[in-house]
Amino acid sequence: GAGVSQSPSNKVTEKGKDVELRCDPISGHTALYWYRQRLGQGLEFLIYFQGNSAPDKSGLPSDRFSAERTGESVSTLTIQRTQQEDSAVYLCASSLASYRDYNEQFFGPGTRLTVL
């Protein structure tokens, strides 16, 4: 497809389990971003990739969160030992080049994570 895709669309897990969320950016987009949207809150920036490297991990809330990107394409956000406060919609976005070069970010539909 032409847009950013994310999977799964919904994930329900038990507290303490690990989860992996996947993002497929728009083909050719070198920059990729992860955001989190908790209920009633704005979107929080988590991490940014330029190519396969992550120059900005400042938004990751704890060491339970990690992300990787391979082949300048797919990215996976992993949350270990999930907690109830991790429940949120996780959004991925991609852009043609760095946000510093005034590039628009295109968003995926999100993954709704519920931790019981």
Q: Which is nearer to other proteins, 27 or 41 (CB)?
A: 41
Nearest distance, CB of residue 71 and other proteins, angstroms: 21
Minimum CB separation from other proteins for residue 86, in Å?
Answer: 19
Q: Are 6 and 21 in contact (CB under 8 A)?
A: yes
Rg value, the chain, Cα: 13
**Secondary structure of the chain as H, E, C letters:** CCCCEEECCEEEECCCCCEEEEEECCCCCCEEEEEEECCCCCEEEEEEEECCEEEECCCCCCCCEEEEECCCCCEEEEECCCCHHHCEEEEEEEECCCHHHCCCCEECCCEEEEEC
Which spans of this chain sit near other proteins (rule: CB under 8 A)? Answer: 33, 35, 40-45, 48, 56, 58, 91, 93, 99, 102, 104-110
Nearer to other proteins by Cβ, of 14 and 104: the residue is: 104
- Residue 21 or 93: the one with the smaller Cβ distance to other proteins is 93
Q: Which is nearer to other proteins, 41 or 70 (CB)?
A: 41
> In the bound complex, what is the minimum distance in angstroms from residue 4's beta carbon to other proteins?
8
Q: How far is the CB of 45 from other proteins (least distance, A)?
A: 5
